[in-house]
Amino acid sequence: MTTPDYRRSPLHAEHLRLGARIVPFAGWEMPVQYAGILDEHRAVRTACGVFDISHMGQIFVTGADAASWLDGMLSGHLSAMPEGTSLYTFLLNEAGGVIDDLIAYRLGDDRFLLIVNASMVATDITWLQNHLRGEVELDDQSDAHAAIAVQGPDAAVVAKTMLAATGGEMPERNAVTRIATEAGTVYLCGTGYTGEPGFELVCPADVGRDWFRRALDAGATPCGLGARDSLRLEMGYPLNGSDLSPERSPLAAGLGFFVDLKKGNFIGRDALLKQKEEGLSEKLAGIEMLDKGPPPRPGYALLSDGTEVATLCSGSLSPSLGTGIGMAYLPLTLSKIDTPLELDIRGKRFAVRVAKKPFYRPAH
C-alpha cells in the first residue's frame, strides 16, 4: 500500500519484507500487523515483541538553563531528575489542557531528550520555541533517528543477545544509558507502552533496520500498531488525541501523579490549582463489556437510564481478558467502580460496567 504525502520509517523496507499490512498513521505509513494482532499481542504478554516507533519525535534540549526552563514548560519537576533517568510528563496550555504527553530523559546536567508523539512534533516544537528564554537550545533530531521498542517478559534475554557485541545491557526501568557505536550514539531507554518489561532503543536512522533485525534474530516477534494499541489499553495507558486533549487536563484524566503543583510556576498550573479547588466534574474511567458483542470503538455512546452520558475515547477487544474494554470521561456521579451503563454499538445496546484500571495486571 502506498499513501500519498505520508512519511516512511527507516524500517519501511523491512516491514514489506516481513509481509506487514501498512496503514496511514499520524502522517506516516506504518505496520498495523504482521501475522495478526492477537498473535502479536500474546507474544508481548508471554515472550517478547519488537515495534517500530521511528515515527515518534526526538527533541534534544540543552543549555545552562535547560532544566529550569523545562520546569516552567512541563508538568513534571525536571530539575529534580537525577542524570540517567526518565519522567513521564505533560506539555500543557494555559487552560491546563494537554497539548502532548511525552517522556523526558535527563542525559546530563544541561541536556535532555524529549520523546514526543508523532503527530505533535511540529506543534510541540513551535510551542516550545515560542516560549524560549535564557540559555536554552532546541534541536529537533526526529529525521535523524530511528527507534524500536523491545517489550515482553523475555526482553532481557533478547537484549543480552542484541547488545552482546556492544557491551551494553538492558537498562533498569525508567533509566537511560548510551552506547557509543561507529554509526553514532545509541540511547537505551528503560521505558515502554505495554506494561511489560523492556526498553526502547533510539539510534541513527541509517542503522535502524540493523537493530530491528538484531531483535528479530534474538527471538523477538515483529509487532504492529494494532497490538501496541490493545496492549496499552489493557494497562489503561492514555493515547494523546483520544484520551488526552487540549480541552481536558491531566487531573480529569486521573494522571495528577505526573503533575507537580509544588515545584513552582509552569504553564497551566493556575488552571489546575483552580480545578483542584473547585473540584472536577468528570473523570476518565475504565469501561468493561459484560455482554458478548462486537468490539467497542472510539466514538460509541455510553448511556445511563437510556440517556447518553459520554462517548468512548478508546475502545478495543482485550486479548488477555477476552472481553471489550475502553475508556471514557464520565460525570463523577457515574464514575464509581461497578456502576452499570449501556454501550450503543450500531444501534444495539450492550451492558457494560465502570471498571478499575489497569484492566490487566502482568504477572511480573
By residue count, the chain amounts to 364
Stretches where the chain sits below pLDDT 50 are: 1-2
pLDDT at 4: 61
pLDDT at 362: 87
pLDDT at 183: 93
If residue 38 lies in a helix (H) or strand (E), which one and from where to where?
helix 37-46
What's the chain's Rg over C-alpha atoms? Answer: 21
Angle (nearest 5°) at CA 225 between 60 and 29: 75
Q: Are 199 and 188 in contact (CB under 8 A)?
A: yes
Q: Are 338 and 353 in contact (CB under 8 A)?
A: yes
Flag whether the pTM goes above 0.85: yes
- What's the farthest any 2 CA atoms get from each other in the chain? 64
Q: Is 199 helix (H, G, I), strand (E, B) or coil?
A: strand
Angle (nearest 5°) at CA 259 between 197 and 56: 50
DSSP state of 217: H
Instruction: Spell out the residues 6+ positions from residue 229 whose beta carbon is closer than 8 angstroms to its own.
Output: 239, 314, 316
Q: Is 214 helix (H, G, I), strand (E, B) or coil?
A: helix
Look up residue 251 and give its amino acid: L
Which residue segments constitute the domains of the chain, with CATH numbers given? Answer: 1-279 (3.30.1360.120), 281-364 (2.40.30.110)
